[in-house]
Chains A and B, each alone.
Chain A
């Protein structure tokens, strides 16, 4: 068993220090997700706070300690999607655009637009796989689906991305 898993087991048992250590271990992953959805630091931080709160409240429900990261990232993505749905905001934060640096900004914005236009399942899958480097197996477990299904969905998501990019190219 890895150290991580031991920490998760401790956290499930109610060890607060273990829980905080775990959260801090994944803070960059959480923050990246927040940034990717909200495009600004403030909301990303708010999301981390809320997700820490939610994770702590439901940590006892984890059945498989090895999949803690997947579980946590899904809470984060769910939260972000819910928030976005509520706001349906399209405005980009200027600080963020500047922070991208001139040369990067175009491609980053483009991909963000495309991600935002995808359906929520596709976006969730792409975020889990490419931003958090999770394995198909882990995603399949978390979503309670066969690996084959996840592969098909991922395939569809990438295909969707491709067609959106080519749409943008044409415009």
Chain B
């Protein structure tokens, strides 16, 4: 019936076949794509694993803190320490802990097939454990990455953790023989184990590294706050701040009657009497959601400073009207049905397994927006992975989620916004000590 059209298509196909390119170039493209996927697969493992808590992640940015001369001198005296400075430059609290000798050398290692894994040392508090490691290789390596890390007690049971990150994907264009990184654990219950073993899988070998923590654990300091503040009509109750050597947890409760959904306390910080500040955790877990309206927000620690006065301060909070706090889309029509005022989300594209949308902002807004997706039948859908493209010169960043079998989900899809470039402003400074 359409023989003419079909013939045209077949002829067109023959034309394309005649144009087929030099096979090497096609093979190269396939190999390049494969390498990218492999590297990405490894990189994704670096993300924080969460056993029991819902957490929000800030994208990883190395906003380095200036290293004080005293600190530089201090670490120069500890063998191997200069290597780890780069690893902690984004966290003032951890730097101060080291400066105050709260770093415990461990130096346990194991060698296998030309590779050596060393646990150099640790910083431990009641709820956290940060391990510093070195990987030495006889041959230069361009790419190296821990495949798996398991922390066990001496009975061989895996230690229960709240969140865990490991294995910065080490990548070096020209090849290196030594790599350094940190492995971090945070626990929901007080962490009392002292005899431990770490199992690390690297290049197909498993390394077993038993170690004992001997240092004295510094006890937490708790500051009760119990104050309610109101910003642009939104009530926030500050319960308490708990200060540990590795981080500070600020417990806040939001009033359920607030008209706005508060998303992120962007600039929550500790300020002492001299104006020195400690801001939020820059690389890792920034918040645990205890329940919808109750959060623990994490700040860099001021544990080793003993200020006479201590304040909790904040000026801006990301917030959206409650009825306006999600992106609703139709995947079939590839249309945005609802979004917050201002039309900042545009250029929606939906492919087999990916929703992608551009967020237009005047300045960089380095957050992924979505944590939860609900389908047209009100069912929560699993997100495979989410991504943030980086801010482009054109004034937007592409943001998206990957969802298996996306098109089989009943429309419309509701993507809850967990970050958004809309703020409420105030000037809060609450004395907590």
Contacts and interface: CB of A to CB of B under 8 A. Distances in A.
A54 B2 CA distance: 35
B408 interface: yes
B397 to A, nearest CB: 15
Contacts of B5: 158, 161-162, 165
A49 interface: yes
Nearest to B398: A86
B16 A20 contact: no
Interface residues of A, number: 52
Given A75-B352, A130-B13, A31 B21 contact: yes
B178 interface: no
A51 interface: yes
Interface in B1-42: 1-2, 4-6, 8-13, 15-17, 19-21, 23, 25-34, 36-38, 40-41
B29 A49 contact: yes
A158 B25 contact: no
B208 interface: no
Nearest to A19: B34
Nearest to B334: A85
A71 to B, nearest CB: 9
Majority SS at the chain A contact face: helix
B408 A144 contact: yes
A99 interface: yes
B12 A111 contact: yes
Nearest to B26: A27
A168 interface: no
A50 B1 CA distance: 38
Contact of B29 (A32, A48, A82, A158): A48
A79 B353 CA distance: 11
B351 interface: yes
Interface of B: 1-2, 4-6, 8-13, 15-17, 19-21, 23, 25-34, 36-38, 40-41, 347, 349, 351-353, 356, 404-405, 407-408
Interface of A: 16, 19-20, 23-24, 27-28, 30-32, 35-36, 41, 44-46, 48-54, 56-58, 61, 74-75, 78-79, 81-82, 85-86, 99-100, 104, 107-108, 111-112, 126, 130-131, 144, 155, 158-159, 161-162, 165
